[in-house]
Structures are given as structure tokens and as C-alpha cells.
Amino acid sequence: MNTNRGKCFRIGRWLLGLFLMAVALLAAYMWWVVARFDTVTLPPRHGQVDVALFARDGGKRPLLVGLGGGEGGNAWASDRWKKQRERFLDHGYAMLALGYFGTPNSPQQLDRISLDGVHAAIRNAASDPRVDARCIALIGGSRGAELALLLASHYPDIRAVVAIVPGNAVFPALTDAMTTPGFSLRDQPLPFVPMTWGATPDLLVGNLRGAFEAIMRDEAAMARAAIPVEKINGPVYFVSAAADEMWPSREMADAMMQRLQARGFLHHAEHLVVQGGHAEPLDEFPKMEAFLESRFKQACP
């Protein structure tokens, strides 16, 4: 029996040694990834986007710009969103599907995406004779909601925002290193909430919400990186998920509502909380359509 106990002890010690070695190798690899990442040079195709404008003839129509999330590509130009895209066209909008990373002509990753480049593409679409350039609204989900709120906070020609499962600050780029912000302005990185080593365990096991909650504990960083939503020149509709597994969208939308109230926001702001996870708010498009109709479209000149 003592022999078996000793054998088990040796096996356990061997397994522990292997585990510690694996942890050390992983830590060394992560340090190497962070150390070698170029945080100065802007990514290839910086400032470029891919767009598809969907507009019917028969006069100038309000422009609705669709921004996908962290999955990349041009979501609103895809077959998956064709049905909802057609609904918006039926409601009298022109729709611009805009891919800001992960497309042939845009940056490969969500890394320091140029607000200026995205806005320039929107203005170019607004010059189409089928579009009313005075009436531009944005609809974005997840990191696309972060982008929509940033754009509207910096460019007053954006007249309304629908932010689905949004973030309330600028968060890290979706790169291996995560040492740069997701977005930039005038070729300068925006202040962002940095990824910390304390969030690593959650990242390793795929607990994205836990990782975001860890970095959001840095109150000073959150304050520096906060999106100045009070500068938005029109109504805002937040749609969050009560049990969001990706990041705390409900809590961040609540924080933005509080910020708007505290800073005397002059426009309508509303927060719809949807029961369920990160994707559940996508079942609430009829409510988003109603918001856009009553708060944006009817107010267009």
C-alpha cells in the first residue's frame, strides 16, 4: 500500500510539474506576443471601409447606417440580414451597410479603426441623390454599437443612434496583444480601457464577460475612455441584454443613461432591457423600427 501511495505521489508531482511548465510557457508566449506588437504603426488599409448602399428610387430618403460587431465583415450586406434590411427599405429608408474591418478593403482586425474614415464613407453615401443628407442615423451591435456611439459623439450630422448591446467606453482592439484601442480619431488612438494580466484567466477559459468586468474595475481608465454620449445630436435608443454573456451591456447602458441625465442631455434617450443573452435583442427589431419612426424619421426636415 505504501508503494502505491508513493507511486501516486510521484505521478501527482509529475502532473503538477507539467501543469506549472505549461503555465510558464503560456505566460512567456503571451509576454512575447505583447512585447512584439507594433503599437505605433497604424494597420494596413487604415481608414478604409467596404460599403454597400441599398436605396430605392422615388425621392430622397433618410439614411440608416448598419454597423456589425466583433465578428467583422459587412454584416448588413449579407444574406443573413437581408430580411431586416428589406424591412428598413420598406419603411422608407436608404440603408448603408458598412464593413469597417475583416473585409477585402478594410483593416484585417478591429484595431484603431479610423472614425474619420468611417464618417467619410457615410458622407459619401449621403451625397447619393436618393439620400437625404440631413437625416442620418446609425444602428450598431456590440462593438458596432461602441463605434456608432463614438461616431455620433464626434460628428453632429449623425441625428440618431440605436445601440444594441453597447459598450460605454473605448475597449481594446481585437488583436492577440490587445494593447491598442479598437478605435482612433485623426490617426491618434483614443484613450481606452487596457487589458490587464488579471483578466487573463477569464480570457483563457473563454469567459469574456468576466474579462471585461475585470478591466472595468479600473475606474480611472473607465472615466478616461468613456464615450461622451451627451454630445450626440439626437435621440438614442439603448437595447441591452439582461444576461449578456459577452460583456455587461445592461450595466453599461444604464451607466450611459445616468451620464446623459447628469449632463443635461437635450434629446430623447431610452433603454430597453431584453431578457436573455447577447443575441436576444435581435428579436426586438420591431421596437427599434418604432423608435426610429417616431424619434428620428418623423423629425427629419
- The pLDDT tens digits for 70-116 are 999 999 999 999 999 999 999 999 999 999 999 999 999 999 999 99
CATH number of the domain encompassing residue 260: 3.40.50.1820
Residues 130 and 207 in one domain: yes
Do the Cβ atoms of 195 and 172 come closer than 8 Å?
yes
DSSP secondary structure string for all residues of 175-194: SSS--SBSEEETTEEPP---
**Model pLDDT, residue 33:** 53
Residues 30 and 161 in one domain: no
Query: For residue 157, is it left (φ>0), alpha (ψ between -120 and 50) or beta?
Result: alpha
Residues 209 and 155 in one domain: yes
Residues 145 and 293 in one domain: yes
Mean pLDDT score across all residues of the chain:
91
**How much of the chain is helix, strand and coil, in % rounded to 5?**
45, 20, 35
23-27, 107-111, 186-190: least confident range = 23-27
Counting residues of the chain whose pLDDT is more than 90, the rounded percentage is 79
Query: Is position 54 within any domain?
Result: yes
Give the chain's domain count. 2
Query: Is position 42 within any domain?
Result: no
Residues 7 and 129 in one domain: no
Distance CA 187, CA 81 (A): 31
Residues 17 and 155 in one domain: no
Residues 64 and 156 in one domain: yes
Structural domain for 31, as ranges: 1-36
Query: Is position 41 within any domain?
Result: no
Residues 76 and 4 in one domain: no
Phi and psi for 287 in degrees, rounded to 5? -70, -35
Residues 281 and 192 in one domain: yes
